[in-house]
Amino acid sequence: MDPKDYKYIGKNVQRKDAKDIVTGKAVFLDDFTLPKMIFGRSLKSPYPHAFIKEIDVEEARNLKGVHAVLTYKDVSQDYKMGWPPQKPILSQKMLYVGDTVALVAAETIEIANEAIDLIKVEYEILPFVLDGLEALKDGAPQLYEEFDHNIVTPGYPPFQKDGAFWHLEIGDLEQGFNECAFIAEDTVSFDKKPAPLAPEPPGAIARYDGDENYTVWATSQSGYILKIINSSVIPNSDLTVKTFNVGGSYGNKQSLTVPVMSAVLLSKVTDRPVRFFQTKVEQMTAYETRLGSQVKAKIGMDKDGIVRAVKADWTVDTGAFCNATQGQVGVGIGEAQLVMAKCKNWDLDTNIVVTNKQPAGIVRGYGGQELNSCLSLLIGRTMKAGNFDPVEVYKKNYVSDGDEYFWRDGRKWKAHSIDYTEAIEISAEKFKWTEKWKGWGTPTWTSEDGNIVRGVGCGIIGNADVGEDNTEAYVRVSPDLFGSKAHVIMQTNITESGMGQRSNLAKMVAEVMNVPYEQVQITDPDTMQNPTGFGLCGSRGTITYGRAVSNAAVDARRQLFELAEPYLEVPPEAMQLENYGVVTKSRPGKFVSWKQLIPPDLTITGYGKHTENFSTPNFFMVFLEVEVNKQTGQVKVVHMLGGTDAGQVIDPATLEMQCHGGIGSASLDTALFEEHIIDPATGRPLTYNMLEYKWRTFNEFPTFDTVMLSSQFDTFMFKALGVGEIAGAAAASATMQAISNAIGVEVAEYPATPNVIFKALGKM
Amino acid sequence: MDTKDVTINANDFEYSFSVGTKFGQLSASETLAETLRNRLGLTGSKEACNEGACGCCTVIINGNAVTSCMTLTVDCDEKNITTIEGLANPETGELDPLQQAFLDRYAFQCGYCTPGIIMASKALLDKNPTPTDTEIKEALSGNFCRCISQYHVIEAVSDIAKGVQK
């Protein structure tokens, strides 16, 4: 199709659920209820590492209205969560503050809470470890017997079908460093495990359906990911997963293992649907955070500003429990290569370690952001040593058509069709980079009294996961029972969690079928009733679902053309769809309606699929200017620009908002103030609620510009790729660069709170 | 607590509850958010943080934007409450201009916090029909939005403040 002919693609179109959202009609899980549904709650460990010596639940069980109380004594210890399967749903050993001691199901939430208070527990408190590098040491407290030195056994079958991939070793490192004129070596930490903090807390309703079959309604942005990750917990189990609108996820609400498995267990023993929601405080203290990262690295750059050698040890702190972390580490290794794509010599080794902190897992940025926030500071040092302009260096080093890299499946991929040089140049120009950039360690502006300084910085990141995971879709043409129109039904498994993609895909189908967007309908998200789809995590939706639904529409169109041959007496190549019928240009006036072609009450069903492909990495670049008050140590971002080339832009307004989204979900502000502060004496998070945990309020936003190019990349029919996930992923390192330039001293400690600034300035 | 009944007016409809501890009675500790969502089926406003920090449960009580999770229903006796469900014209279904502005400006992403943001904006505009952008931002500083729709929200509210018709 010629982009000039698009009716909906590239234009702002009102989301199908828009009116429901502004009227309060949109349904989220908490608004939904089932007949005879009861309420689940859990007693949570007050200690980061402890053994249950004794537990007495008699009084709780006897409370009127209580249907079940479960402890480790009541549940198979082989029902293990995570990958590799490691953590019993209910265990005798507590591994973090907020770990599940006991589960209760009761007629009301109040009775469940009362029952929780009646459980008596005697703990043996064990020594705990809160730091990833400490956890690796001899003699450190061990969380799991099978994880020697707390190192998680490598291997993640869903992502790595050829075997485990955790260590990138290619080229000749010594030779590589010999070619370098500038080398930086240090350990950088990005380990404060900030909270992605979706507004809607994690929750699930489970219903037992016999044998080991369960229906789960969840606040998951991907029902299918929830299904595959949690299917390994109870042997021979099958979960059918349904979702509603999801109140923010940012990658964080996918598998929901703890709430889902809690609800599942309780539903089986009570044979009642059980609703299990975490409170906001539980979400903040016991639900998944961003991964912790400590990176000891050496990076070498040649005299032309090309990175030639990278040696790095990446310690990944996954908290008390490892779910999809191995996939994230694989992607992190991949993303590092995209930023330093001309480098042929790598030794990037990783260790995933468990510590006595709340679990860490998937958040927008997916491992890549955590590693990028560390490595970029060292790339910056080599740039500084060579006195290079960072924009020029990133432009030279960033992945482009023909560059090769190893992705998270351990296989080698070659970049295809993409080139982001123009996007980098236009973004820099719009930000007025050359005007503002005064050199390393030099402020762009200083107040008259010298107390307030401004500096600029930039960061770059990309992800090839945009083509991940096999996906399929049906497109059904259903002529109206009365009248001459038809509805086109897109049968595919997509949960709406804010990106607007359910509607964007309807736009694609409307283009192919040449029907009004309003006539395209989408099935509700459900893993059983829809064909396979991994949801919208990781910006995969544009390519994977885009290809699947547009191919399915093309298939439906092909069938209509075949049926139309006897009527139009021309070959299918000469036909087109128009006004719910088929026409041909060669015989004007000839028209046959879909209703005439399709037997009464039946439908035409087209099938389309996408197969996994990591050859078109996306791109996002952040430019920003910060202002530092040297007297108070306070830093604020005054202006920010997000630049990308999304291939064909599908919906400018929603893409722009995805760019804005890079400020939230523990992205930009992990460089400024977002962190979980844990009391080292007790192991308890002090930032346990939304008053203690710092987040950016409406009146504190910087001005924001976007650059969104619309190149025609060779991805699928509509030449687009997704970019939303990485919008903020390079913002943290860009902020550190800007702060360092503003105050003239390098700052490399996340987040750069006033304390950190004072330390850097030698005032503390 | 002397009264045996509590009467609230929610979206121009009067509801009386008997207060007590028996099954089905409104307990003295029940929050307005619980009453609206669980008893009246007005699930538009959300219970997210239950500590008055995120603004997702914001409704308008006697003209003021209030977090309904921090308000006891027994304290709402004889009060007028407007929720997101009460903004559109009940007879014609026509949206409030503010709701329309949110549509026109694409002022939401996941939409979970949107009802609270719209109600906080509505209370501001009812009191001050021409707020400046700074006043809008201040009025919404108690509303949490993690998808980052703030830029578009400010445009939408500002359109109303400036009388922009799309």
Nearest CB neighbour to A698, from listed B87, B103, B150:
B150
Judge whether residue B165 has pLDDT over 80: no
- Two tokens at B126? 């009812």
- Restricting to A residues 184-213, those with a Cβ less than 8 Å away from any Cβ of B are 196-201
Low-confidence ranges of chain A (pLDDT < 70): none
Angle between helices B150-161 and B97-104 (to 10 degrees): 140
- A728, A684 contact by CB (below 8 A): no
Q: How far apart are CA A233 and CA A223, in angstroms?
A: 16
Contact partners, residue B35, CB within 8 Å, separation at least 6 = B8, B17, B26, B73
Q: How far is CA A738 from CA A133, A458, A674, A741, in A?
A: 29, 7, 18, 5
Tell me if B145 and A199 make a contact (CB, 8 A cut-off): yes
Interface ipTM:
0.98
Tell me if B108 and A661 make a contact (CB, 8 A cut-off): no
Measure the N-to-C terminal CA separation of chain A; round to a whole number of Å: 63
Domains of chain A: 3-24+469-610 (3.30.365.10), 32-126+202-277 (3.90.1170.50), 292-466+614-761 (3.30.365.10)
- Two tokens at A130? 């809160």
Q: How far apart are CA B26 and CA B35, in angstroms?
A: 8
Q: What is the per-residue pLDDT across B82-111, written as a single tens digit (0 to 9) for each? A: 999 999 999 999 999 999 999 999 999 999
Would an 8 Å CB–CB cutoff place A481 in contact with chain B?
no
- Restricting to A residues 339-358, those with a Cβ less than 8 Å away from any Cβ of B are none
Q: How far apart are CA A73 and CA A659, in angstroms?
A: 49
Number of H helices, E strands in chain A: 19, 33
Q: How far apart are CA A572 and CA A416, in angstroms?
A: 32
Tell me if B54 and A27 make a contact (CB, 8 A cut-off): no
Nearest CB neighbour to A23, from listed B46, B99, B134:
B99
Q: How far apart are CA A677 and CA B99, in angstroms?
A: 39
Tell me if A22 and B152 make a contact (CB, 8 A cut-off): no
Contact partners, residue B103, CB within 8 Å, separation at least 6 = A14, A18, A19, A22, B95
- B72, B33 contact by CB (below 8 A): no
- A520, A512 contact by CB (below 8 A): no
Judge whether residue B1 has pLDDT over 60: no
Amino acid identity, position B136: I
pLDDT in the model for residue A698? 97
CA distance B37 to chain A (A): 8
- Restricting to B residues 73-132, those with a Cβ less than 8 Å away from any Cβ of A are 83-85, 87-88, 95, 99, 102-103, 106, 108-115, 118
**β-strand partners of A623:** A458, A641
**β-strand partners of A66:** A106
B83 neighbourhood in chain A, CB within 8 Å: 24
Contact partners, residue A521, CB within 8 Å, separation at least 6 = A487, A488, A489, A490, A506
- B85, A23 contact by CB (below 8 A): yes
A196 neighbourhood in chain B, CB within 8 Å: 146
> Which one, of A752, A452, A663, A734, lies nearest residue A444 by Cα?
A452
**β-strand partners of A52:** A123
Nearest CB neighbour to B102, from listed A22, A25, A497:
A22
Tell me if B137 and A26 make a contact (CB, 8 A cut-off): no
- A358, A292 contact by CB (below 8 A): no
> Which one, of A735, A543, A577, lies nearest residue A647 by Cα?
A543
Nearest CB neighbour to A21, from listed B111, B141, B148:
B111
pLDDT in the model for residue A156? 85
Residue environment code for A282-304, b if the CB has 16+ CB neighbours within 10 A, otherwise e: bbbbbbbbbbbbbbbbbbbbbee
**CB-side neighbour CA atoms (13 Å) of A168:** 28
Tell me if B109 and A199 make a contact (CB, 8 A cut-off): no
- Restricting to B residues 23-42, those with a Cβ less than 8 Å away from any Cβ of A are 37, 42
Which of the 8 DSSP states describes residue A688?
Answer: -
Q: How far apart are CA A177 and CA A556, in angstroms?
A: 56
Judge whether residue B123 has pLDDT over 80: yes
Specify burial of residue A495 (Cβ count, 10 A radius: 0-12, 13-18, 19+). Answer: buried
Instruction: Outline where A363-500 has alpha helix (H).
Output: 368-385, 390-397, 421-431, 433-436
> Which one, of B88, B82, B42, lies nearest residue B62 by Cα?
B82
Tell me if B151 and A246 make a contact (CB, 8 A cut-off): no
Chain-centroid distance of CA A159 in Å reads 15
Tell me if B103 and A499 make a contact (CB, 8 A cut-off): no
Tell me if B108 and A26 make a contact (CB, 8 A cut-off): no
Tell me if B147 and A664 make a contact (CB, 8 A cut-off): yes
Closest A-chain CA to B97: A22
pLDDT in the model for residue B4? 84
B103 neighbourhood in chain A, CB within 8 Å: 14, 18-19, 22
A654 neighbourhood in chain B, CB within 8 Å: 106, 109
Judge whether residue B132 has pLDDT over 70: yes
> Which one, of B60, B57, B51, lies nearest residue B79 by Cα?
B60
pLDDT in the model for residue B109? 98
Tell me if B102 and A654 make a contact (CB, 8 A cut-off): no
CA distance B25 to chain A (A): 14
Nearest CB neighbour to B47, from listed A15, A30, A196:
A30
pLDDT in the model for residue A159? 81
Other C-beta atoms lying within 10 Å of the C-beta of residue A450: 10
Angle between helices A731-743 and A368-385 (to 10 degrees): 30
- A623, A733 contact by CB (below 8 A): no
CA distance B88 to chain A (A): 7
H-helix or E-strand containing A743?
helix A731-743
pLDDT in the model for residue B2? 53
Q: Tell how strand A604-610 and strand A93-94 pair up.
A: unpaired
Tell me if A26 and B111 make a contact (CB, 8 A cut-off): yes
A22 neighbourhood in chain B, CB within 8 Å: 84, 95, 99, 102-103, 108, 111, 114, 118
CB pairs under 8 A between A and B: 160
CA distance B99 to chain A (A): 6
> Which one, of A457, A458, A453, A459, lies nearest residue A742 by Cα?
A453
Interface test with chain A among B42, B109, B141, by most A beta carbons within 10 Å: B109
> Which one, of A194, A698, A678, A282, lies nearest residue B49 by Cα?
A282
**pTM attached to this predicted model:** 0.97
Instruction: Outline where A287-344 has alpha helix (H).
Output: 325-339
Domains of chain B: 5-86 (3.10.20.30), 97-162 (1.10.150.120)
SS3 A108: coil
The pLDDT of B109-130, averaged and rounded, is 98
- A763, A406 contact by CB (below 8 A): no
Nearest CB neighbour to A19, from listed B53, B84, B103:
B103
Closest A-chain CA to B137: A699
Q: How far apart are CA A435 and CA A201, in angstroms?
A: 44
Tell me if A690 and B54 make a contact (CB, 8 A cut-off): yes
Strand order through the sheet with B64-67:
B13-18, B5-10, B79-82, B58-61, B64-67
Share of chain A above pLDDT 70, in %: 100
Task: Write the secondary structure of A614-644 as one string of H (helix), E (strand) and C (coil).
Answer: CCCCCCEEEEEEEEEECCCCCEEEEEEEEEE
A247 neighbourhood in chain B, CB within 8 Å: 46, 48, 110-113
Tell me if B46 and A279 make a contact (CB, 8 A cut-off): no
Dihedrals φ, ψ of B19, to 5°?
-95, 135
A499 neighbourhood in chain B, CB within 8 Å: 109
- A307, A345 contact by CB (below 8 A): no
Contact partners, residue B138, CB within 8 Å, separation at least 6 = A698, A699
pLDDT in the model for residue B164? 82
Would an 8 Å CB–CB cutoff place B164 in contact with chain A?
no
Instruction: Outline where A340-367 has alpha helix (H).
Output: none
